[in-house]
A and B are shown apart, each in its own frame.
Chain A
Amino acid sequence: MTHLVDTVLSIVLLSILLSFGSSRLPVLIRVIGFQGIVVSIVPLLIGHNLSASGIAFNLVTLLIRGIVIPLSIYLAIKKVAIRREVEPIFGQHASMLAWLGLIAAAAFIGDRFNLPAISNHVLLMPTAIALLAGGMFVLMGHRNAIAMVLGYIMMENGIYLVGTTFSTSVHHIVEFGILLDVLAGVMIMAVILQNIKQQFDGVDTSLLRTLKE
Chain B
Amino acid sequence: MTISIILWFLAILLAPFFAAVILKVKAFFGGKKGPPILIHYYTIIKLFQKGSVYSTSTTLIFKLGPVISLCAAAMALMFLPLAGYRPVLSFHGDVIFIIYLLGLGRFFTIAAAMDTASPFEGMGAAREAYYSIICEATLFMILILFFMLTGDLSLAAYLSGSLPLGLWQTAGSPLLFVIIALFIVLLAENARVPVDDPATHLELTMIHEVMVLDHSGPDFGFVELGSFCKLFFYSAVVSRLIAPFNPDHPALNGCQFIAALLVVYAVVGVTESVMARYKMDKVPKFILTSFALAFFAIIVTLEFLK
Contact A6 B302 (CB under 8 A): no
Interface size on B, residues (CB 8 A): 17
> Given that A17-B292, A92-B285 are known contacts, is A103 also in contact with B299, CB under 8 Å in the complex?
yes
**A63 at the B interface (CB under 8 A):** no
A126 to B300, CA, bound (A): 10
A110: chain B residues within 8 A (beta carbon): 303
Residue of A nearest to B282 (CB): A92
Contact A111 B292 (CB under 8 A): no
Contact A6 B295 (CB under 8 A): no
Main secondary structure of the interface of A (DSSP, over half): helix
Please classify how large the interface on chain A is, using the bins under 10, 10 to 19, 20 to 34, 35 or more.
20 to 34
Contact B306 A10 (CB under 8 A): no
Q: Interface with B: A81-89, A93-101, A133-141, which one? A: A93-101
> Given that A93-B285, A96-B285 are known contacts, is A126 also in contact with B303, CB under 8 Å in the complex?
yes
Q: How far is the CB of A108 from chain B (nearest CB, A)?
A: 9
Interface residues of B in 269-306 (CB under 8 A from A): 284-285, 288-289, 292-293, 295-296, 299-300, 302-304, 306
8 tightest A-B CB contacts, nearest first: A122-B303, A107-B299, A7-B173, A10-B300, A92-B285, A100-B295, A96-B292, A103-B299
Question: Which residues of B approach A to under 8 Å, CB–CB?
Answer: 173-174, 177, 284-285, 288-289, 292-293, 295-296, 299-300, 302-304, 306
23 sampled A-B residue pairs with Cβ under 8 A: A6-B173, A6-B304, A10-B173, A10-B174, A10-B177, A13-B296, A14-B293, A17-B289, A17-B292, A21-B285, A21-B289, A93-B284, A96-B289, A100-B295, A103-B296, A104-B299, A107-B299, A107-B303, A110-B303, A122-B303, A122-B304, A123-B300, A123-B303
Question: Which residues of A approach B to under 8 Å, CB–CB?
Answer: 3, 6-7, 10, 13-14, 17, 21, 92-93, 96, 99-100, 103-104, 107, 110-111, 122-123, 126
